[in-house]
Amino acid sequence: MGKVSSKKLYEFRRTLEELAKKKGRGTELVSVYIPPDRQISDVTKHMREELSQSANIKSKQTRKNVQSAIEVIMQRLKLFPKPPENGLVMFVGMIPRGGPGTEKMETYVFEPPEPIKTYIYHCNSEFYLEPLKEMLEEKEIYGLAVLDRKEATIALLKGKRIEILKTLTSGVPGKHKAGGQSQRRFDRLIELAAHEFLKRIGDHMNEAFLSIPDLKGIIIGGPGHTKEDFVKGDYLHHEIKKKIITTVDTSYTGEFGIREVIDKSMDVLTEIDVMREKKLVQRFLTELINEEGLAAYGEEEVRNYLQMGAVEVLLLSEDLRAKRATYQCPSCNYKMDITIKKEEYRECPKCNDQMKIVDSRDLIDDLVEIAETVGSEVEIISTETEEGIQLLKAFGGIGAILRYRP
């Protein structure tokens, strides 16, 4: 997903969670995906056509709701002379709050975190979210190569997508049956041809991989020992060589071999992503057990340190579910901010009247905003590791590594 922060990913993930909960009574929720190179006038024209065709919908209520949604989309399109850099997504429809007659029109319009590839108009009882869910999949880029003395294939793994960059064949001859000097001379020619082939593979890998600044690592596979000879030899640029994670044995070369490399490396790839989070939480825990360690946990303590500008890294569990609500008394206008798991009754401490919630936001959003104001780094920690679970269960999902202790 390019260079998107864990905070942005969290916000995007939560938006999708909310959209996935929305259900229409009929096939009346409209989803529109507009690629960045699509003309807004073309989309508007298509909406007019869909508006006309919707007159054929048999159910009177569904017809009315679909037409209302399309009209809202056409109005919103007027605000955009052209799509944003990554395109535009629009989700519009009547969402029931309870029984029949409680439907309210809801509209969600935003730029996704990476470019939309295909124009989509979709009408159903749920919003169509698959293209956005695909954007949530990890998009780290890894270099792959599978080789033996006869052929080599160089590829990239982008998230779950394989991109074959180059396939090379060697022309290295097989074994020669002659004996004596003729055999030795032929063996030398074979070794020279093999060396030249490995050099050619290295040149192509250097050219392909040096131009990718965010390349996370390289995995090399193949049958036999040629891959080890290649890794040990002087065939790769030193910057590329540093990024080799592991070598794996495969039964094949070519595209089948590339897929085999990926299958046999999944544990390694997963571990790399997980290790960064583990190291952060372990650093937090190490600071915590030190008497003068630079760590804090719990909302109140971390919030105070954040507001002082003392937090270097704010650690938040992605499973943290709470709201930061502003309560106001309708009688004396007294206000207070508190964190809640669900809406609850509050009595005004000044006049004992029942207070009302006048503003509510996600607790993570609230803490992240403070962190960004004071220049603290934010890391959203998954619960896929033991350390991530510990952060959530033992420390309430909120921790901080401090710059200094005030």
Q: pLDDT at residue 269 above 80?
A: no
Interval 131-136 mean pLDDT: 86
Give 372's contacts (C-beta < 8 A, 6+ positions apart): 378
Q: Indicate the CATH number of 141-269 among 3.30.420.60, 3.40.50.300, 3.10.20.70, 2.40.70.10.
A: 3.30.420.60
CA 143 – CA 207 distance, rounded (Å): 12
pLDDT at residue 2, as a whole number: 44
CA 78 – CA 40 distance, rounded (Å): 8
pLDDT in tens, 177-227: 555 566 677 678 878 888 999 999 999 999 999 999 889 899 999 999 999
For domain 294-402, which architecture applies?
2-Layer Sandwich (3.30)
pLDDT at residue 405, as a whole number: 86
pLDDT at residue 273, as a whole number: 65
SS3 380: strand
- Identify the band that residue 300 occupies on the pLDDT scale cut at 50, 70 and 90: very high
| C-beta separation of 298 from 396 below 8 A | yes
Interval 19-47 mean pLDDT: 95
| C-beta separation of 104 from 6 below 8 A | no
Interval 39-46 mean pLDDT: 96
Length of the chain: 406
Interval 33-50 mean pLDDT: 96
Secondary structure (DSSP) of 102-154 = --EEEEEEE--SS---S-EEEEESB---HHHHHHHS---EEEEEEE-SSEEEE
Neighbours of 372 (CB within 10 A): 14
> In the chain, where are the structural domains located?
6-136, 141-269, 294-402
| C-beta separation of 343 from 369 below 8 A | no
CA 380 – CA 11 distance, rounded (Å): 10
CA 167 – CA 200 distance, rounded (Å): 11
Helix axes 363-374, 6-21, angle to 10 degrees: 160
- Identify the band that residue 3 occupies on the pLDDT scale cut at 50, 70 and 90: very low
Interval 262-275 mean pLDDT: 78
Helix axes 254-289, 386-395, angle to 10 degrees: 30
Say which CATH superfamily domain 6-136 falls into: eRF1 domain 1 (3.30.960.10)
Neighbours of 333 (CB within 10 A): 10
Backbone φ and ψ of 223, nearest 5°: -80, 150
In 174-237, alpha helices (H):
180-209, 226-232
CA 371 – CA 313 distance, rounded (Å): 9
Residue 89, CA distances (Å) to 114, 129, 210, 253 in order: 11, 10, 35, 41
pLDDT at residue 158, as a whole number: 81
- Identify the band that residue 344 occupies on the pLDDT scale cut at 50, 70 and 90: confident
Q: pLDDT at residue 9 above 50?
A: yes
pLDDT at residue 204, as a whole number: 97
- Identify the band that residue 113 occupies on the pLDDT scale cut at 50, 70 and 90: confident
